[in-house]
Amino acid sequence: MSDTQTLESAQTETPEALVARLAKAGRAAQIALARMTTPQKAAALLAAAQALRAAEPAILEANAKDMAAGAARGLSGAMLDRLRLDAGRLAGIADAVAAVAGLPDPVGEVISQDERPNGLVLARVRVPVGLIGIIYESRPNVTADAAALCIGSGNAALLRGGSEAVHSNRAIHAAMVQGLVSAGVPEAAVQLMPTQDRAAVGAMLTAAGLIDMIVPRGGKSLVQRVQDDARVPVLAHLDGICHTYVHSAADPDMALSIAVNAKMRRTGICGSMETLLLDAAFPGSVAVVQALLDKGCELRGDARARALDPRILPASEADWDTEYLDAILSVAVVDGLEAGIDHIARHSSHHTDAIITADAAAAEEFLQRVDSAIVMVNASTQFADGGEFGLGAEIGIATGRLHARGPVALEGLTTYKWQVRGTGQVRP
């Protein structure tokens, strides 16, 4: 079906009917995809990467249209930068797709196996989740990244990108599908929503039984809307209010270098530190806050933190629950491990929280008791990333409590089934 035909039929059906039609096609494609072997899926991903490289002129031309429209609409410089593709960025996108081909395939992995006294042999085996909906904003690379992770894990993808990137997304999608189809993947394994109608997003969110899981990729307002409205399970994080607690037994140099890195390496990522908890008994606090201030970070502290340096501004109650995503940091002085854990329990968004300490018992206590998707000892919270965790990529970071937590890649896009092998057993 051509893009034009799809658009026409999309205009004559309700958003719910559109989603149902796409989901049905996606599910049928997924059943075929689930039967493909690991080498077949890898070959398809390499073909998709090659097709992206070959389509460079068309993709950059489409992107130029989006950039022109974005500039005319007055998008901010940061948004235009997120939208922008060039030969180097596109090559990076293609390389990322090819890299997924080299990751271990979780599908078919035997999670556990057991033989019962009656001779039944039970195995839990990983299978794809099914049809994954991805709802994202202006970054066109998500089109390729998300599709590659879904295909690599045997899932079909239904993509819905932001309207500002519509031409870029269509061009990237067309190239990828061409590559995938040339390697035997059904066309509907990766579908791009043919309309920018916002009602279609609502229809995706409520398509329980049709779409198996939704992954939102974008800013807080997008994630919030998806979490509020979805009747389909959502894999996401809303906030990354990450803490670093500097214990009394922390090495002062280590505390300083980790605190500066956790906040200032990149301030706009979800794993950046937003609150620094300094133990009252830690001797190096002045040096840590001075280093942060000298790097240009605004510090907002409680009364005891402000006593460390006159440049520290007063923190309001809201600061302890704020994800700045900027060169701003809240700082509190706490009395001991218990108080540090307690502050984190009250204010963490359960994304990533860290302790800096040379005391192994304190470290283990922190690791055991802090109830976040990622808990760290003596490391920068900026390591909260699928690539850094050795997953090769990530579809996102999840702070929910079920299914998958922390960085989610291929394995998080699978579930399992029980296979039971008998020899005629009946239940007494």
Q: For a second copy, which is the closer residue by CB, 251 or 302?
A: 251
What Å distances lie between residue 344 and 292, 372, 375, CA to CA? Answer: 21, 9, 11
Structure tokens at 7: 């658009």
Candidates 3-11, 162-170, 310-318, 420-428; binding stretch for a second copy (CB under 8 A): 420-428
Contacts to a second copy from residues 136-165, by CB under 8 A: none
Rule CB under 8 A: choose which of 26, 292, 372, 408 binds a second copy: 372
Residue type, 289: V
Contact with a second copy (CB under 8 A) among 38, 224, 257, 290: 257
5-64: contacts with a second copy (CB under 8 A): 31, 34-35
Q: Crossing angle for the helix pair 38-54 and 87-101, nearest 10 degrees?
A: 170
Given a contact cutoff of 8 angstroms between Cβ atoms, the answer to whether 334 and 343 are in contact is yes
CB-based burial label for 402 (10 Å; 0-12, 13-18, 19+) = exposed
Residues 101-120 interacting with a second copy (rule: CB under 8 A):
114, 116, 120
**CA 223: distance to chain centroid?**
11
Q: Does 416 engage in binding with a second copy (CB under 8 A)? A: yes
Rounded distance between C-alpha atoms, residue 292 and residue 107, angstroms: 45
- Residues numbered 339-358 forming contacts with a second copy, rule: CB under 8 A: 345
CA distances from 307 to 256, 339, 416 (A): 18, 19, 54
192 vs 203, beta carbon nearer a second copy: 203
By CB under 8 A, the count of residues binding a second copy is 61
Interacting residue with a second copy among 192, 382, 395, 408 (CB under 8 A) = 382
Residues 213-242 as x/- pattern, contact with a second copy by CB under 8 A: x-------------------x---------
Pairing mode of beta strands 328-334, 298-301: parallel
Query: Is residue 235 within 8 Å of 150, Cβ to Cβ?
Result: no
Contact positions vs a second copy (CB under 8 A): 31, 34-35, 114, 116, 120, 122, 127, 129-130, 212-213, 233, 251, 254, 257-258, 260-262, 265, 345, 363, 367-369, 371-380, 382-383, 388-390, 400-403, 405-407, 415-427
